[in-house]
Structure 1
């Protein structure tokens, strides 16, 4: 009997976690980008930030997800520490709303949610309808899992062995707190742990005091995941937000642990239902901690800044190495510093481009994740270079310095675009290929490798053009545009021929093959912008329309590519 009850309990918890995962993933897919942009625009008012945290976490149903997003924003400087801490206080309160909702007997709604969710997911014509269908299925599974938990625990109420096991495990409040924290850390969800506690309390397997201790542990465990899985950086300052949230949870546990017995008696006087007891205490704990910390947040933030100073290390690729502020009064020196940092961006993009094709061809998921992490560094360096150059241009610049400033900004912007194409497009294609375990045909893989090699070589050539301004190399770079078009056309023709032959590998990877060629061609278009900049500076291309300038009678054409490059004829092709 005891073993069967434990197996049923584990199965019910697994179903609960899967339902919670479906709700979270559906919300993120439907509204994730909007939520990220909204969080990135939070104002400095701590009270407005607190309300934002409540709302966002009520939607996401995960304070861990909110904390991870905020940690990345705070690390990049998009959100100040005080409003970020206020959002986390609100996020902790936001998790109580779903617990309150699920604490009522809503098992009759589960079939309706499952039916409507499956219908929306299978029949929905719009992506957002499918995502909301996923949310409905997740909610239905969560409610169904709670019903199954109660049903599986009911026959075990008279089993002495099971009851004795739970009484021993949860008999000491401190031990129950630690168990709750461990379960929440393992499950990545305080909601799941609290709902499990509600089921155990309803079946009288845990005492009211033990139930409150488990809820305390769930709140403590929810602060561990953002700290462990947050921003991967050697800079201690990037851990201020998760550490601050953990301190809030620890202080709350220290305050409430000695008061669990009188708190349980007080809450039972308001509502004797053991299920509602855990839900009410979850609300009480988070509201009290929010009220306790919301006023002294500025002082708390200063304490965190002292404990975790901002230490910039050379090992962090997102930290600028050459943007020295002391040389802004000398524009030529400052622009040279910006150019060095931009070349460093180019080195990172170079490695991203090289690793991207390896990840695609070898189905290396770990390498694909590394490429995506490097894009974060490129984005931060781009922001730093942009602000640095703009600051330099506030002073008086001569014509050559102004032109060089535009060249630096142009290259930094193009490198950032290339990084985004690699991360958002190529790595997404790599993920699809890995998920489906697909393989290119031998000929198709060889064509992609050759196409990628030419693009990669031209990226390095563009860095040489930027550094030296060599016109011969710039002309060669733009001549490569014609070669890339011819290679893309030939590769597409060969791919279509393999499709006609019925090659299984080619049929399975057809869309991936074409999309990779398209994205590499887009990358090459950004690469060639460096060649245009050098030739514009030399007067061989008109700056406004990229036409060669007017020539005197009998004067030889300095740049004989006009008839071969549509961009030089005013067209918009790549």
Structure 2
């Protein structure tokens, strides 16, 4: 076999491994995506719980990079604080070692049966859930088949003097040699954009005897640094300082952790060998059929031990890590323009969970803006304020443009690879966005009517003024409830929303009845009555829109 054939087979095997990993990760995210988002959103400020959550979520999606990108999306959306995100990042690095542990098991014989079963479920099942499970099984099979192809491709070169001479240059006998290995691991991971793939390649090289265990561990340490590049790429173009801080924390965590291990590298190697032997593995240099069959288990354990030690150290030093990331990251802008339109990072499109988290954050911001504007507009019922009334066109234009930006981004996400729950969520988010904009339309109508009342000096009875103040306050209270529940939903939210909707409808009917009585008694003019009914109707419509939003929030948030 010539060098070209060896290269093609090895790279082909690596390609299959990456394809399998991606397919499995997509299947896992599609199956558990909604649960993952809710788990991440519910994280407390407890650093230990955050770390455990990060480890669990990453074990579920089989990618620390995917978890970190999700976190950046959450932080950008304001759903998660930087302290919470960094705690989860620390755990994500522990969770990603599950992939290495899985690869270390000798499951090559299960690869083709898994591919057969996975294809059957993915392409012949009617239920989407089964198709997603098919993705997981298919990805699993392709991953291990790729490992087998890599090993087979490397087999001819393990006795070739030229290749042996090349690989022996990666020696860990000197500090320079260790740093070279770490650098190579970093570069490989940056190129492949998957630390799991480069760990798999390292295991294949070590199994073939082309790398010693210490050399393989040095490469794995470098691969831990290389995986941080994905998070850094996710922040390119982002103006959110917390997004940069999350990515920087991931980088600092791995770089400093590797630096610490390099200072005690010989002792670390000895510790990994001792622990692995005590766990029942055979000697690291045992050879069976020309393969170092135990080496992958030692590499997997070394990868896990490094990340667990690193996590424990940085959990203790979490406040200092946060301070350091604050120091080296971009400073936040002092203020945000009031009418600044949402800006979405297109880099999150491939991660629907992160992208939808961004949208959720902007929808909440938009709803809060409408709430603030509605409070101001409602205050004009009692006292004229030309500054508030005069800005209605600017507010309405801003809400219209915001609606367009959000809907356009949701459409872009929908056109990508989304699962059924995500498609439903996108639909509900569009509905919520449209109803927020409709509240703005009604608010503009109210502003115009109030200005007309003042300009024409139209008077209302005391009862009419009281009724208008009551229904306006009720509409404000309903929108306040919706905005609060968007951020932290309670179990009885829907019942409260339904009750408020019924109350506003009842208030409208009672106020109309009282208005008719006042007309009969000659207590108000026809002009005043028309405008009174128009105001009541607009506030009642706001209640309808708030209820529509509440229904969507209850379904997806």
TM-score between the two structures when normalised by the length of structure 2: 0.66
Choose which of 190, 195, 201 in structure 1 pairs with 2:195.
Answer: 190
**Structure 1 residues 447-487: Cα deviation after superposition (integer angstroms, max 9, x where no partner):** xxxxxxxxxxxxxxxxxxxxxxxxxxxxxxxxxxxxxxxxx
SS at match of 1:168: coil
| Paired position in structure 1 for 2:483 | none
The 8 Å contact of residues 24 and 62 in structure 1, kept in 2 or not, is answered as yes
* Aligned-partner SS, 1:399: coil
Distance 1:27 1:420, change over 3 A: farther
Partner of 2:235: 230
Describe how 1:505-544 pairs up with structure 2 within 5 A.
Answer: 529-536=439-446, 538=449
Change (3 A) 1:534 1:268: closer
Distance in 2 between the 1:401 and 1:106 partners? 76
**Residue of structure 1 in register with 2:420 after alignment:** none
**Match for residue 150 of structure 1?**
151
Note the C-alpha offset of 1:524: 7.8
> How many corresponding residue pairs?
434
Partner of 2:409: 423
Task: Tell me: CA distance 1:286–1:520, structure 2 relative to 1, closer, same or farther (3 Å).
Answer: closer
Kindly report which structure 2 residues correspond to 1:55-70, keeping only aligned pairs within 5 A, or say none.
Answer: 55-70=56-71
* 1:402–1:117 CA distance, 2 compared to 1 (3 A): farther
CA distance, structure 2, for counterparts of residue 311 and residue 555 of structure 1: 55
Confirm or deny that 1:288 pairs with 2:309.
yes
Q: How big is the shift at 1:70? A: 1.1
Of 382, 385, 392 in structure 2, the residue corresponding to residue 399 of structure 1 is 382
Aligned to 2:38: 37
Cα pair distance change 1:37/1:390, threshold 3 Å: farther
Return the offset for 1:161: 2.4
- How many Å separate the matches in 1 of 2:210 and 2:75? 42
**Is residue 382 of structure 1 aligned with residue 366 of structure 2?**
yes
Structure 2 residue 223 is the aligned partner of structure 1 residue 257: no
What is the deviation of 1:191? 1.0
Please show how residues 292-441 of structure 1 align to structure 2 within 5 Å.
Answer: 292-308=313-329, 310-312=331-333, 320-322=336-338, 341=339, 344-345=340-341, 378-379=362-363, 381-382=365-366, 385=369, 399=382, 419-424=405-410, 426-428=411-413
What's the counterpart of residue 28 of structure 2? 27
1:326-383 CA-to-partner distances (Å, cap 9, x unmatched) read: xxxxxxxxxxxxxxx3xx44xx69xx9xxxxxxxxxxxx99xxxx9999688447426
- Distance of aligned partners of 1:383 and 1:203 in 2 relative to their CA distance in 1, 3 Å threshold: farther
Aligned equivalents of 2:544, 2:305: Cα separation in 1: 65
Q: For residue 298 of structure 2, what is the aligned residue in structure 1? A: 277
Q: What's the TM-score once normalised by structure 1's chain length?
A: 0.64
CA deviation profile, 1:45-83 (whole Å, cap 9, x unmatched)? 111111101100001111111111112222343222222
Structure 2 residues without counterparts, runs of 5 or longer: 285-293, 418-428, 453-467, 472-503, 535-539, 549-557
**Counterpart in the other structure of 1:362:** none
Show CA shifts across 1:288-325 (max 9, x none): 11111111212321333234363217xxxxx6224xxx
**Which residue number in structure 2 is paired with residue 214 of structure 1?**
219
Match of 1:2 in 2: 3
Tell me if structure 2 keeps the 8 A contact 1:163–1:205.
Answer: yes
Note if contact 2:189-2:198 (Cα within 8 Å) is conserved in structure 1: yes
Question: Aligned equivalents of 2:437 and 2:304: distance in 1?
Answer: 55
Q: Structure 1 residues 58 and 375, CA, compared in 2 at 3 Å: closer, same or farther?
A: closer
Indicate the residue corresponding to 2:251 in structure 1. Answer: 246
Root-mean-square deviation (Å)? 4.5
Corresponding residue for residue 491 of structure 2: none
Q: Tell which has more relative contact order, 1 or 2 (C-alpha 8 A, sep 6+).
A: 2
**Separation (CA, whole Å) in 1 of partners of 2:128 and 2:113:** 21
User: C-alpha offsets along residues 373-395 of structure 1, whole Å, 9 cap, x if unaligned?
Assistant: 996884474266368669989x9
Measure, in 2, the Cα distance between the counterparts of 1:198 and 1:521: 50
Question: Where in structure 2 are the equivalents of 1:491-510 lying within 5 Å?
Answer: none
1:320 touches 1:384 (CA, 8 Å); kept in 2? no
Corresponding residue of 1:331: none
Structure 1 equivalent of residue 490 of structure 2 = none
Q: Distance in 1 between matches of 2:371 and 2:330?
A: 23
Summarize the Cα distance change of 1:31–1:419 in structure 2 as closer, same or farther, 3 Å threshold. Answer: farther
